[in-house]
Structure 1
Amino acid sequence: MYLVLIPVAILIYQLLHLLYTTLRTRSLRSIPGPLIARFTKLWYFDRVRRGHFEEDNIRLHETYGPVVRIAPDHYTICDRAAVKQVYGTGSKFTKSAWYEGWKHPSPDRWTLFPDRNVKRHAETRKRYSALYSMSSLVHYEAFVDQCADIFATRLNEYAERKGSLNLGHWFQCYAFDVIGDITFGQRFGFLDKGEDIEGTIAALEKTMVYSTLIGIYPEWHPRLFGPLSRFRWSGAGGRAYIMKFVQEKIRQHNEHPKRNLEDGALQTQDFVEKMITARDKNPDKVTDYHVFMLGQSNVIAGSDTTSISLSAIMYHLLHNPEVLEKLRSEIDEFTAQGRCSAQVTFKESQEMPYFQAVMKEALRMHSAVGLPLWRVVPAGGAEISGHFFPEGTTVGVNGWVAHYDEEIFPDAKRFRPERWLEAESDPERLKVMNDMYMPFGLGSRTCLGKHISILEMSKLIPRLVRDFDFVTTGEKWDTQNHWFVKPTNFIVDVHRRV
């Protein structure tokens, strides 16, 4: 009898919630969108489940205009003023309940990325900001060089036996080993054979799928996480595995400290070692949980974002040979002038104007994140793009939608790095473009690891373009979007460049 009442209770709850949402958002009835999206989140859930919502989102705005309803109280927006209003510095729009799916259900377990507590997030970010700052980048170059050398060795081996490889997979192996070295002071070993060490990549992918989908119905996360975490095949199980993986690495660090250096020599230390030193000096300010949180955040976010961005750069170069040749000429010229080392330095890469434009254009064309960055309208409501949104309404801008806005980026579907160089002579135009450029997010929630990712790309891409030739079939690659828009079949042949 009671079992029969459970689905009835759920149905009644859903109907009451729909009625409440409809009454609360009467002022938004005129906002267009798919008809079924007015009544249920199922339409949005299904489109996200299919794994191509970045394309769906662009088409929705092409069809319906700058503001589109995709669920009873969820609206995606494409408007430069709205981007600044929702994500700009000092914005009172907080992260939505969707981010709950990325947290451990226990209230005392929280991490930086999904934390919806504005004050706590700001305080935590301060503890980490120096580690990720631009000025700290040069201290991590040795870690990147070591992994880039091994990656080059693997590519030479493929070139000798004339074999094909999934470049996207190898980029993830590279990014995983770099973040392992930077975070824990040791590579994970992905670059040794290109194999998934202990199923870590697979676990991470399952975590992405689970968190992305459960976030649409966050009320189910506390109910499902516990039972599902017992199964390795589930997304919850993948998250539990990643947590144990990080805890073991930190345990090894605590048991076998490398050195006890003064502050002046901290540049030679990895992230966890620096955090442990800070914890030992001030345990009230930096706790064991802060150390764990940093390690987990790096592992979960530090490989996919960078590997996808590396893939985007190479994919668009290979599908635009004229751009590739122009970039190669710049790199060859710098090399001939002694301004481009065998192990390309970060400083050298920053002095290559065309390369900087290539990197920026590739991340515009294919940002790692492919879903709206959902935010909640603050108390009192807000006027956005000509509509008044009541407080509590969920709104968001998808970076893919912003980056393919024809008014901001004319001929947006064309890979044209020159657009960034041309805009440098028109400061107002460049400002407009930068206002809508958001591959790493915007405002106070900008990706903390942004500079690490740029470091990895800046040092590796010029080296690959200078030293290797890659041949692709020319066909469009396949991708899967579960928060990150990840390529699945970036197959190439590689040859040593003479």
Structure 2
Amino acid sequence: MYIHLLGLLLAGGLAFFYLLRALISPLRSVPGPLLARFTDSWYLWRITKGKFEFDNIELHRKHGPVIRYGPNRFSFDDPQASKIIYGHGTHLKKSAWYETWNFPKPTDQWNLFEERNQKRHALLRKPFSNTYSTTSLVSFEPYIDECTDLFVQRLRESAGKGVALDFGHWLQCYAFDVIGNITFARRFGFLDHGDDIGGVISALETSASYSAKVGVYPQFHGFLFKLAGLLAGEDGSGFKFVNKFANDTIKEYRDSRKAAFTSYHVFAGCAQNVGAGSDTTAISLSATFYHLLKNPQCFHKLREEIDDGIKQGTVSQKPTFKETQSMPYLQAVIKEALRLHPATGFPLEREVPEGGATISGRFFPAGTIVGINAWVEHRNKQVWGEDADQFRPERWLIDDADKLSLMNRHWIPFGMGSRVCIGKNISLLEMQKLVPLIVREFDLDLAGGRAWTWTTINHWFVKPKGFKVLVNQRNDKAEG
């Protein structure tokens, strides 16, 4: 009886606390779901449903440019907000949500993605910057070409057989082998048979789902991380395969040259390449092909640009990075695909510093969590026009310099400011080299027909499920 009474008192006390917090909050007038006024459980519930990018868009269309998705979490759909929150020189650091993407504190291990301290992040990022720079891209091309050749071979083996390929899966196999080749100078081997080697793909999905959900309540990360490890068992994580692959490669090269990095610098760089570089690139490639197949006039317009380039001698049979820079429609297609389907689907949360911040005409006190979801930013009609929900690469091919500048400032599939994705250039390099080759070589059709719409699941990365494509060899290729 006393235990029952104690439980009731505790529940009543919590309910009173949540109610009082909502009533006295200086931000109580900000609209949003009723439950989100009192608890973050609404956000956790919507994350679990796996469609938060659409929830976020609909909330803004219903309530306006500033909405809440938790008692202390606020999302923005205002072109003026991004510079304040993410611009260079901002004092807003990443929220505690990101801490669950690393081992629980205290830990001597770090990664660039989860590091919240801005000065420490700048120091940690500096040794890697040259490797990921645009000038370094040319040195990566042979590694990409090797994987591209194998990917094309796999498509040729399936061409004309009437069997639909899980294109999203094969593009992830491609992205994994490319990033393995760039990082370790040898492929993982995903493209050899299309298998999930070592359970790595599954492990990445499980890890992202864990971090995305537990990040809502990061104070429980230490306990839940240990529990998840116990449930997984010794062989429960595909990361063991990647870790062993990385460590074996590091040992091979450790004594062969003077090391500018510590062993952990090398390991951390490898881990961030594999963990982030594979998913983001695979999703972005899938989005590009999906929208091209949903809009066949765009597919054929891109093919014409490739064919014309080959006939004129400006584009090779296997396009180089330099050649792709002179293909405006290709660049427009990729930018438009990443606009409509950025790889990540949550607000990029930041914490308001001491002194507070005024955003979208409203003052937010220190400790408030604010953020912008790229899916929301990329559909703002003030920036993109009334057809913001449509795939239209031509919007990037206009002569209006001011309009192009506006769109480029609000095109954030890789984030923005000092925390922009460090692997952005590598991901774009892979896309710019693979897309024109596949469009030139193959006739592709959605297995479900042009009217079919794919299913995605959002656990931070917005991944397609069941992206089935029919592949046929093209017979009327232009010859150089």
How far off is 1:254 after superposition? 3.9
Match of 2:426 in 1: 452
Match of 2:273 in 1: 298
Equivalence map 1:44-59=2 (5 Å):
44-59=43-58
* Partner SS for 1:70: strand
Matching residue's letter, 2:34 = L
Distance change (3 Å), C-alpha of 1:122 and 1:8 = farther
- Cα RMSD, aligned residues only: 2.3
- Count of residues in correspondence between the two structures: 470
Write the distance in 1 (CA, Å) between the matches of 2:158 and 2:91: 51
Equivalence map 1:332-347=2 (5 Å):
332-347=307-322
* Partner SS for 1:27: coil
**Mapped contact 1:84–1:435 kept (Cα < 8 A):** no
Pair 1:355-2:334 in alignment: no
Equivalence map 1:384-395=2 (5 Å):
384-395=359-370
Task: String of CA shifts for 1:38-92, please: whole Å, max 9, x gaps.
Answer: 0011111111110011111100000000000111000100111110100000111
Pair 1:491-2:468 in alignment: yes
Instruction: Give the TM-score, by structure 1 length.
Output: 0.90
Match of 2:390 in 1: 414
How far off is 1:227 after superposition? 2.1
**Mapped contact 1:228–1:237 kept (Cα < 8 A):** no
* Partner SS for 1:178: helix
Write the distance in 2 (CA, Å) between the matches of 1:314 and 1:454: 14
Pair 1:440-2:417 in alignment: no
**Mapped contact 2:73–2:369 kept (Cα < 8 A):** yes
Write the distance in 2 (CA, Å) between the matches of 1:80 and 1:397: 10
The more displaced of 485-494 and 428-437 is 428-437
Match of 2:478 in 1: none
Match of 2:135 in 1: 135
Distance change (3 Å), C-alpha of 1:382 and 1:198 = same
How far off is 1:249 after superposition? 2.0
How far off is 1:419 after superposition? 0.6
Write the distance in 2 (CA, Å) between the matches of 1:5 and 1:226: 32
**Mapped contact 1:206–1:233 kept (Cα < 8 A):** no
Task: String of CA shifts for 1:447-481, please: whole Å, max 9, x gaps.
Answer: 00000000100000000000001011220000000
How far off is 1:293 after superposition? 1.0
Write the distance in 2 (CA, Å) between the matches of 1:385 and 1:44: 22
How far off is 1:321 after superposition? 1.1
Distance change (3 Å), C-alpha of 1:433 and 1:113 = same
* Partner SS for 1:469: strand
Matching residue's letter, 2:110 = W
The more displaced of 148-157 and 77-86 is 77-86
Distance change (3 Å), C-alpha of 1:217 and 1:8 = farther
Match of 2:346 in 1: 371
Match of 1:192 in 2: 192
Matching residue's letter, 2:457 = Q
Equivalence map 1:195-344=2 (5 Å):
195-232=195-232, 238=237, 241-242=238-239, 244-257=240-253, 260=256, 277-279=258-260, 286-344=261-319
Matching residue's letter, 1:471 = D
**Mapped contact 1:80–1:435 kept (Cα < 8 A):** no
How far off is 1:10 after superposition? 7.9
Distance change (3 Å), C-alpha of 1:278 and 1:255 = closer
Match of 1:461 in 2: 435
Matching residue's letter, 1:407 = Q
* Partner SS for 2:314: coil
Write the distance in 2 (CA, Å) between the matches of 1:64 and 1:377: 22
Task: String of CA shifts for 1:83-127, please: whole Å, max 9, x gaps.
Answer: 010000011110001111111114222211011111111001001
How far off is 1:335 after superposition? 1.0
Write the distance in 1 (CA, Å) between the matches of 2:3 and 2:133: 55
Matching residue's letter, 1:252 = D
Write the distance in 1 (CA, Å) between the matches of 2:302 and 2:29: 48
Write the distance in 2 (CA, Å) between the matches of 1:109 and 1:21: 36
How far off is 1:255 after superposition? 3.7
Write the distance in 1 (CA, Å) between the matches of 2:116 and 2:161: 51
Distance change (3 Å), C-alpha of 1:13 and 1:143 = farther
Pair 1:380-2:355 in alignment: yes
Matching residue's letter, 1:392 = G
Write the distance in 2 (CA, Å) between the matches of 1:138 and 1:14: 58
How far off is 1:185 after superposition? 1.4
- In structure 2, the gaps of 5 or more residues are 476-480
How far off is 1:15 after superposition? 5.3
Pair 1:86-2:85 in alignment: yes
Pair 1:396-2:371 in alignment: yes
Match of 1:72 in 2: 71
Pair 1:476-2:426 in alignment: no
Distance change (3 Å), C-alpha of 1:116 and 1:471 = same
**Mapped contact 1:246–1:292 kept (Cα < 8 A):** no
Write the distance in 2 (CA, Å) between the matches of 1:224 and 1:55: 28
Write the distance in 1 (CA, Å) between the matches of 2:392 and 2:194: 33
Distance change (3 Å), C-alpha of 1:159 and 1:124 = same
Write the distance in 2 (CA, Å) between the matches of 1:157 and 1:314: 19
Distance change (3 Å), C-alpha of 1:228 and 1:5 = farther
How far off is 1:22 after superposition? 3.7
Matching residue's letter, 2:91 = K
**Mapped contact 1:41–1:72 kept (Cα < 8 A):** yes
The more displaced of 318-327 and 154-163 is 154-163
Distance change (3 Å), C-alpha of 1:326 and 1:105 = same
The more displaced of 12-21 and 252-261 is 12-21
Write the distance in 1 (CA, Å) between the matches of 2:118 and 2:436: 39
Write the distance in 2 (CA, Å) between the matches of 1:121 and 1:456: 26
**Mapped contact 1:150–1:191 kept (Cα < 8 A):** yes
* Partner SS for 1:391: coil
Write the distance in 2 (CA, Å) between the matches of 1:28 and 1:77: 14
Matching residue's letter, 2:45 = D
Match of 1:267 in 2: none
How far off is 1:246 after superposition? 3.7
Matching residue's letter, 1:435 = R
Task: String of CA shifts for 1:408-443, please: whole Å, max 9, x gaps.
Answer: 111111111111111xx2222122112211000000
Match of 1:270 in 2: none
Write the distance in 2 (CA, Å) between the matches of 1:370 and 1:133: 26
- In structure 1, the gaps of 5 or more residues are 262-276, 280-285
